[in-house]
Every structure is written in structure tokens, then in C-alpha cells.
Structure 1
Amino acid sequence: MLEFEFSSHGAGMIHAYRWEPEGQPRGVVQIIHGIAEYVPRYAGFAAFLNAHGLLVTGEDHMGHGKSHGTEPCHFSGGWCAAVDDSMELLRRTQRDYPGVPYFVLGHSMGSFLTRTLLFRYPDAGLRAAVICGTGWQPAPVLAAGLALCGLEKLRLGETGRSKLLANLMFGAYNRKFPDARTPNDWICSDPEVVAKYTADPLCGQDATIGLTREMLRGIRMIQRPANLQRMDKALPVFFIAGRSDPVGNMGRGVEKAATAFRAAGMQDVTCKLYDGRHEILNEKNRHTVYDDVLAFYERHLG
């Protein structure tokens, strides 16, 4: 694994990674990770893709993983600055591998960042995109969340951390599982994955009030019909999620997002739900998901 850094479009330095296959790569997959986690958690998935000739890259977002120079779990400069950091890595990798088919996979918050990237940079040169663990939020829910962020910012500041906000967002996810033993059971049905996540100091931190606000703004942005219309209509998109993923409202929000893409004129949109919770790339049936993602990329290598 190669590690390197570049300046963020928001603040500090972005730490990035690259896993290279043997020989010339058949394609590139850029992973865009979720909130309160980091790219090396996808090392097993990267090794699988490497074995099939695909190079894998990704960056720890501002305030995440090994990226440094800003408040933990915070986006200095806002949502679009974080999107532009992902776009910066995309451009750098395309320069290093000109002409090689380029794919993305965005998970959770990374799915929302990816959906933003798709309409902000429709000419990014992507061959296909996988949207993993995404969702769709009703406008009144977003408005209420943003109003609460404003009140909590007055009380605690931009980089303060609000237990109220955290409980309303992630606590609500965990309440879907009455037998939950930890605050993180919503992420995966495999207790070993949950235990490892819970014990990891780089996972599960409370987001700042600023990051929570920016994510809600980002979700509102990607759901606007005018922005959906800006995407490359020919780009193949594959939505994947767990049937028991509360982020996607147990699949209903995922299907609504896919429907919105089709309504915006996207010509090749597929959606598949799997047994499992939020992190389907870490569920016990993950190799079925791996195989489906690989097959999707391989259909679009030519």
C-alpha cells in the first residue's frame, strides 16, 4: 500500500492511499468513505479488487483517519471542499494512469459526497459508479435538522459536539435494533465487526456541529431536481445497500434515490438490496457483494 498526502481544499493535509495490482491495472476504483471512519477499513475489499487487476485508491476526508491539520470529524471549508478533495485525488490518479477506466464507490456519507461529485463534475471521466449505503431524507426532516444545528452552534460553537444531535441521528439508527449491545450495532450484524469498530479510536467519534450541518446541507443539495439533472445521463450507476440499513430506511430510501436518478434521465440505474445492515462490505455475506460490484465494474471495462 502506497501512502501520500496533498493539501485539502478546506484545511490541513489529506492522507491518501493506493493499492496496486500486479501488472498494468485494468481499471481504477476510488473509494469514498463514510463519516467517523477511514479508508484502510476497506483493505480487504481492495485486496479482492487487486486480485482481479483493479487498482484501488482513496483518501481520508478532512478530520478523519490520518488526515491532519483540522478538527477531528469536521469539514473546514464546508461540504463542497470535501467533495473537491475527492475530486483532487481522482484527477491525480487519472494523470498517473491516463486512459485507464475509472470507477468510484461511495459508502454512507461517502455516498452523499459521491452523489455531489456526480452533479458537480459530470465530465470527470468516470466509467461507472457504485452508491453504497445511501438514503433519501424528507425535506421537513432536513429543515428540522438544520434548524437544530443552528441552535446547537449558538450554544456550543461550530466545532462543538452535540450529544443531542448525535442521539437524534445515530441513536435513532441503533434504536431500530432492540437487541443492540453497543451504540454501534446498526453498522453491521457481525458482532466482531462492531467490536473492532467500537475499539478503534479513529472510528465512531461524534461529528462536530459544523460537519453535521454540512452533511445535511449536502443531502439537501443532492436531492434537488435541478442538481440531479446535471449528472452525466449515460453514466451507469449501481445502488447497493442492506435490507436492514437504517440510513436507507431499510431499503426504501435507497430505492427512492434510484427512482430519482431514473426520473432525472439517468439511462443505466440498477439497485440491489442484500441481507445485512449498514456496512454490507463487512457483513458475513460480503463476498456476494464483492462479486456483484466486480461484475458491475467488469461490464463497463470495455
Structure 2
Amino acid sequence: MRRFNHRITLSTGQTLEVTIDKSDEKPLGIIHILHGVAEHKDRYDHIVEYLCKRGFHVIRHNHRGHGINIEESTRGHFNTLQDLVDDVKEVGDTFRNELNSDLPYILLGHSMGSLIARKFVHDYPDDVDILLLSGTVVYSNLRGKLNLYGLKIVNLFLGSSTKSKFINNIAFKTTNREHKDLNKDNKWISESDENREQYEQDTYAGFPVSHKVLLETVKATVQTKKPSFIKKQNFNMPILLVSGKEDHFGGFGKGIKQLASIYKRSGVKHVTVQLYKNKRHEVLFETNQYAVYEHLYNWLIMQIKLLEKEESPNE
């Protein structure tokens, strides 16, 4: 594989850090990885190397307010999730043309990145051939409304750009109660001690985010679950939902199954759920990560073969 790091300026004037990894094998597709909140693209090196060795070119970029070479005042803040969706469009279009725009284009979004991906396939239904959602967020209708109203009040009275440690703790670290281990701040992230330690020692991960970022992610969680929203996307695009059974943000598997059911009832033809016992939010970084990668790869190969059959029905 060959790696190329870029700093690009988008048409909006926004500068983003982008990494392109080109496979040396016969290319099967292009995978665009969208990282989660308060982390960065470089944490995905292991899965990128795995995918490249098996014939996938990989695009990944740091979202606004995330990354290494950014102004510290901007870290942990963006104005709207829609801005991030539109950034994905421009980054994807730019580098797909360079790699080979005829190859299947696959979005792999983790956590907040999965919400961006869910919005992207609504806004640009003809762009994506296959959708992978890792650790996606699913709230019950009641919890979604309560979170939304609560964060609207927080933004109104405490400020949208403020990064309150107290509010961030409520959003993330109170989830430890579900794991009965309050002395470990990031227990919710992963069963893997090694992964949690790396996360905690990473200067560019685990930082507080603004109240607006929290509000935007909750808004997207509520919005992208609605059947009326889902019905705007391409029903022929296969979707894989990957999550740990102990992921608080996926409703401990129940929310993931519920979202899959909503997709199917809304008309999506191919929806697959893969839940991993005892695994948590960062299912791509767990102790069984290579087994997860293998499952992703096998599922992708199956979907690509089906795409090829649809494109060549007479062969």
C-alpha cells in the first residue's frame, strides 16, 4: 500500500487533513472512513492496512474541529453537522476521481461518523454503493426528545461554543453506570484495556466538545431514524450495522435491531446486523478487531459480487 497525506482547502475555505491509502492489489472498491466525535482519522490505521491488503483504496479525513494541525480554539467545535456532510461530498468527489470513480464507493462511518453517513445517503442517494455503520447511535423516541430539548436549553443559556466539562461528562461518562465500573472514565468505549489506554493517552482524542456539537449529533440521531427521512435514500444500497452488544449508544443491541427494522419497513432491501457479545462502543478497536474486519470484508465481497451481477445481468 502507498500512503499520501494532504491538507486541502475546500470550496468553502475550510481546510481539512486527508489521508489516501492506495492498495497495491487489484482494486475492489473505495472505502471512505468517517471517524467519530473527539477522535481522528489516524486511529484507524489497523483497519486501513487490513483493507488495503485486500484490494480496497481508502479515503479518510479529519472533520472540522478535529485533527492535529488545527487551531486549538476550533478543537471540539463545528457549527452544523450538515457542514460535515457537505465536506464528505467534496473530499469524496475529489479523491474518487483520482483513484477511479468507476469503483464501488463505500462509506464506513463510526459513531458520529455513522450519523454523518446516514445524513449523506439521504442528501446524495446516488453517490454511495454500500453503507457500513459502526457503533451507530440509536435513541428511543422519548430519550431522543428529552436529550434534544435538554441540549437546546443548554445551548441557549450556557452558549453554543462553550465546552463544559460537566455537560460532556453527562453526555459520555455517565454511561459507565451501565457497565458498573465508575472508576474507569472510559469504560463505555471498549472492553479492551489497551484500546482505552491508547485513547486516554492520545493528545488528539477524548477532548471536550462544544454544546453545539452535542446538540447537532442528537438532532441527527433523531432525524435519521425517521421513516420519512430514510425513504429519501437509495433502497438498493445494502447496509451493514456493526455494534457491540454492550454499546450504550446502540441501546445494548436493541436499538441497532430497531434501526434495522425501521430501515426494512421503510423500503431498504438489504440490511444486515452484526452484534458482538461483550463488546462496546468502539467495536472496530476491540480485542477481536481482526475477526470484525474479516466479517466486514466477507460481507463487502458478497455485496460487490451482487453489484457486479446487477450491472451485467446477461452474463
Task: Return the letter of the residue paired with 2:291.
Answer: T
Aligned to 2:54: 52
Aligned to 2:208: 206
Aligned to 2:27: 25
CA distance in 2, matches of 1:227, 1:10: 26
Aligned to 1:88: 90
Aligned to 1:119: 122
248-257 or 12-21: bigger deviation: 12-21
- SS at structure 1 position matched to 2:209: coil
Deviations, residues 135-158 of structure 1 (Å, cap 9, x unaligned): 321233233223322332244322
Deviations, residues 167-210 of structure 1 (Å, cap 9, x unaligned): 32212322111235421111111111101101111111111011
CA distance in 2, matches of 1:221, 1:262: 17
Aligned to 1:41: 43
255-264 or 168-177: bigger deviation: 168-177
CA distance in 2, matches of 1:154, 1:239: 34
CA distance in 1, matches of 2:175, 2:12: 29
Aligned counterpart in structure 2 of residue 292 of structure 1, from 288, 291, 295: 295
Aligned to 1:110: 113
Task: Return the letter of the residue paired with 1:142.
Answer: G
Post-superposition offset of 1:226 = 1.2
Residue 131 in 1 paired to residue 133 in 2? Answer: yes
Percentage of identical aligned residues:
26
Where structure 2 has 5 or more consecutive residues not aligned to the other structure, the ranges are: 309-315
Aligned to 1:259: 261
CA distance in 2, matches of 1:24, 1:139: 45
- SS at structure 1 position matched to 2:224: helix
Task: Return the letter of the residue paired with 1:119.
Answer: H
252-261 or 148-157: bigger deviation: 148-157
- SS at structure 2 position matched to 1:136: coil
Q: CA, structure 1 residues 165+9, in 2 after alignment: closer, same or farther (shift >3 Å)? A: farther
Alignment of 1:221-232 (within 5 A): 221-232=223-234
8 Å contact 1:8–1:62 — kept in the other structure?
no
8 Å contact 2:139–2:251 — kept in the other structure?
no
TM-score, with length taken from structure 2: 0.90
Post-superposition offset of 1:166 = 1.7
CA distance in 1, matches of 2:241, 2:158: 37
Q: CA, structure 1 residues 192+65, in 2 after alignment: closer, same or farther (shift >3 Å)? A: same
CA distance in 2, matches of 1:10, 1:217: 23
246-255 or 215-224: bigger deviation: 215-224
CA distance in 1, matches of 2:39, 2:144: 23
8 Å contact 2:135–2:243 — kept in the other structure?
yes
8 Å contact 2:176–2:187 — kept in the other structure?
yes
CA distance in 1, matches of 2:69, 2:142: 34
CA distance in 2, matches of 1:184, 1:252: 22
Task: Return the letter of the residue paired with 2:109.
Answer: G
Where structure 1 has 5 or more consecutive residues not aligned to the other structure, the ranges are: none
CA distance in 2, matches of 1:3, 1:102: 20
- SS at structure 2 position matched to 1:2: strand
Aligned counterpart in structure 1 of residue 104 of structure 2, from 82, 101, 116: 101
Task: Return the letter of the residue paired with 1:54.
Answer: F
271-280 or 6-15: bigger deviation: 6-15
Q: Would you say how many aligned residue pairs link Structure 1 and Structure 2?
A: 300
Aligned counterpart in structure 2 of residue 169 of structure 1, from 150, 168, 171: 171
CA distance in 2, matches of 1:180, 1:47: 34
Post-superposition offset of 1:67 = 6.0
8 Å contact 1:45–1:290 — kept in the other structure?
yes
Aligned to 1:279: 282
Aligned counterpart in structure 1 of residue 150 of structure 2, from 148, 151, 159: 148
Task: Return the letter of the residue paired with 2:184.
Answer: T
- SS at structure 2 position matched to 1:3: strand
Q: CA, structure 1 residues 23+292, in 2 after alignment: closer, same or farther (shift >3 Å)? A: closer
CA distance in 1, matches of 2:111, 2:271: 18
CA distance in 2, matches of 1:193, 1:180: 18
CA distance in 2, matches of 1:5, 1:242: 34
Q: What is the RMSD of the two structures over their aligned residues, measured on CA atoms? A: 1.8
8 Å contact 1:159–1:208 — kept in the other structure?
yes
Task: Return the letter of the residue paired with 2:205.
Answer: C
